[in-house]
Amino acid sequence: MSESRQQAARKCVSCGIKVSGKNAAEFACPDCGTTIYRCATCRKQSNLYECPDCGFRGP
Ligand SMILES: [Zn+2]
Ligand SMILES: [Zn+2]
C-alpha cells in the first residue's frame, strides 16, 4: 500500500476510466491550468469535458 501520489491514476474527466499514457489526451484547462486527461474514446466522440478544479466545460 505504498503507492506514490505523484503517479496517481490519470482519469478521463469525461467517463472516469483510468487512462494510460498512450491513449490519453493530456491538456491544461484553459481557465485554471489544471491538467486534464481524456481517453481516446471520449476524444473520438467529442464528449464534453469538465475541469475537476474550476468546472470549466469545453469540447
Ligand atoms: Zn473517457
Ligand atoms: Zn479548470
Query: Any idea where the domains of the chain sit in the sequence?
Result: 1-59
pLDDT tens-digit map of 37-50: 999 898 888 888 89
The Å distance, Cα 44 to ligand 2 centre, comes to 21
Q: According to DSSP H, which parts of the chain are helical?
A: 40-44
Q: Report the chain's mean pLDDT, rounded to a whole number.
A: 83
Tell me the whole-structure pTM to 2 decimals. Answer: 0.73
C-alpha cell at 35: 491538467
Q: What's the DSSP call for residue 59?
A: -
The Å distance, Cα 14 to ligand 2 centre, comes to 14
> Whole-angstrom Cα distance, residue 26 to residue 12?
9
The Å distance, Cα 4 to ligand 2 centre, comes to 24
Residue 3 has pLDDT above 60, yes or no: no
Angle at 52 (CA atoms; ends 46, 55), nearest 5 degrees: 80
Confidence band for 53, pLDDT divided at 50, 70 and 90? very high
The Å distance, Cα 10 to ligand 1 centre, comes to 11
The Å distance, Cα 35 to ligand 2 centre, comes to 8
Residue 26 three-state SS: strand
